[in-house]
Amino acid sequence: MQAVSSTFSCDLKSMIQTNPTAKNARYSHVNRNRVPVRCSYRSESFSFPNGIGSSRADWQSSCAILASKVASAENASSADQVTTVNGDSNGSVNLSLVPLDSKNGKHGLIQPLTNTDLSPAPSHGSTLRVAYQGVPGAYSEAAAGKAYPNSEAIPCDQFDVAFQAVELWIADRAVLPVENSLGGSIHRNYDLLLRHRLHIVGEVQIPVHHCLLALPGVRPDRIRRVISHPQALAQTEGSLNKLTPKAAIEAFHDTAAAAEYIATNGLQDTAAVASARAAELYGLQILADGIQDDAGNVTRFLMLARDPIIPRTDRPFKTSIVFAAQEREGTSVLFKVLSAFAFRNISLTKIESRPHHNCPVRVVGDGNVGTAKQFEYTFYVDFEASMAETRAQNALSEVQEYTSFLRVLGSYPMDVTPWSTLPSEDV
């Protein structure tokens, strides 16, 4: 099995594509052969209004792509149709597949949405429906509960499915992880933010407290395999080296699904890294508690909606943008963009670069002396200001001069919950 580097990414596609022949690895992947769904959008171009008004319409248009020079690839296909995994692209839908009951569910729990479940949502009552990736007992479910108390949590089997669940009105919101204090960024969700048209309307951070779970009666020295979400495995690498040094480490779709898999298949030699709530839901015992390599292990989740919220100034706000540099700006563009914020005393809280979707590599130099290949990036920046503030609007106007496209992903209240009062994810 191929070794998975310690910088795990949560990209299911890359998990699936892992070469299974590499030898002597402790890490490998459990593959359920999931195929990512392809979603297409209408091509649209937007303009940036002069100044941001207070109406939803004004704000909505200012949240759109400001100078959409990359629209074509992102919006490659024509209709609002979803191609299903089994190749059924005729748009036919089966409303009965929306898994809102547990009739067929193991353990009587709600089964996650799959690609084939994505169909227009039926009308519903007033309870907010919140999509998350994973099954009940996943940390993402806890994050959805913190973000939207008293909501109905809708499990989805992939991040992409959660995005689509909101776009297709199956859910009203999605809550998805973007970064963990130990494991780093969840790149897949950064890429999906650009591919989809949802708006960031909030953020929540939850402390992630991992346990090692096994079937009741199984002794730790009998464990030959540990399975979990790659992020959870990365966050417990040190502890697992001590607790189960000889066990193979295998990636799974999510932490709670790993616990469920052990319970369903009666696996005596396998343990899962998951929450105490997952142990309770799937009838497993806790072999070790608090096995995250840092006690302050925290994951940050974004709250996503079809419509943006109107930015305010009466509480701390964050704004997230994504942009690509203009070719003629050369190598100094990032410096110029960051200066636009620094000169206005706007703090940046996060910067992430991802390969440019349309043009990941550019050839530079003249033909006489050979050519060099320069990697092209899309940059994601979070900054501490509300788009209702003039300084933020001016900063973005300046940034726009250096970029080939710029999109405001959302302007939303910061999660300022004090650490000591953060609810534990597993209570």
Ligand X SMILES: O=C(O)C(=O)C[C@]1(C(=O)O)C=C[C@@H](O)C=C1
Our CA angle for 337, 342, 347, nearest 5°, is: 105
Which amino acid belongs to residue 329? E
Taking the C-alpha atoms of residue 75 and residue 69, their distance in angstroms, rounded to an integer, is 11
Site map 117..136 versus ligand X, x via CB under 6 A = -----------------x--
Which one, 68 or 255, has the nearer CB to ligand X? 255
Phi and psi, residue 396, nearest 5°: -70, -35
Residues 23-82 that bind ligand X (CB under 6 A): none
Which one, 140 or 411, has the nearer CB to ligand X? 140
Taking the C-alpha atoms of residue 205 and residue 186, their distance in angstroms, rounded to an integer, is 14
For 389-404, the DSSP string reads SHHHHHHHHHHHHHEE
Unique residue bearing structure tokens 């209709």? 79
Taking the C-alpha atoms of residue 378 and residue 325, their distance in angstroms, rounded to an integer, is 8
Residues 135-194 that bind ligand X (CB under 6 A): 138-140, 177, 180, 186
Residue from 299, 319, 378, 403 carrying the catalytic annotation: 299
Distances (CA, A) of 65 to 61, 74, 156, 293, 342: 8, 12, 28, 40, 23
Residue 65 DSSP code: B
Taking the C-alpha atoms of residue 251 and residue 84, their distance in angstroms, rounded to an integer, is 25
Locate 83 and state its tokens: 């191609």
Residue from 159, 301, 323, 379 carrying the catalytic annotation: 301
Name which of 270, 293, 299, 292 is nearest 282 in CA terms: 270
Which one, 4 or 52, has the nearer CB to ligand X? 4
Say whether 301 is catalytic: yes
Element at 272 (helix H, strand E): strand 270-274
Which one, 172 or 179, has the nearer CB to ligand X? 179
Residues 332-371 that bind ligand X (CB under 6 A): none
For residues 223 and 270, the answer to whether their CB atoms sit within 8 Å is yes
Site map 281..320 versus ligand X, x via CB under 6 A = ------------------x---------------------
Taking the C-alpha atoms of residue 156 and residue 134, their distance in angstroms, rounded to an integer, is 6
CB of 371 to ligand X, least distance (A): 39
Applying CB under 6 A, does 403 fall inside the site for ligand X? no
For residues 386 and 319, the answer to whether their CB atoms sit within 8 Å is yes
Unique residue bearing structure tokens 């409303």? 95
Distances (CA, A) of 208 to 61, 108, 114, 277: 37, 26, 26, 12
Residues 245-274 that bind ligand X (CB under 6 A): 254-256
Which one, 65 or 211, has the nearer CB to ligand X? 211
CB of 346 to ligand X, least distance (A): 28
CB of 205 to ligand X, least distance (A): 11
Burial of residue 230, with CB atoms counted within 10 A of its CB: 0-12 exposed, 13-18 middle, 19 or more buried: buried
Binding-site size for ligand X (CB under 6 A) equals 16
Which one, 236 or 320, has the nearer CB to ligand X? 236
CB of 344 to ligand X, least distance (A): 33
CB of 177 to ligand X, least distance (A): 4
Applying CB under 6 A, does 10 fall inside the site for ligand X? yes
Which one, 64 or 105, has the nearer CB to ligand X? 105
Site map 211..240 versus ligand X, x via CB under 6 A = ------------------x-xx--------
Residue 158 DSSP code: S
CB of 30 to ligand X, least distance (A): 13
CB of 288 to ligand X, least distance (A): 17
For the annotated catalytic residues, the residue numbers are 299, 301
The residues binding ligand X (CB under 6 A) are 10, 134, 138-140, 177, 180, 186, 208, 229, 231-232, 254-256, 299
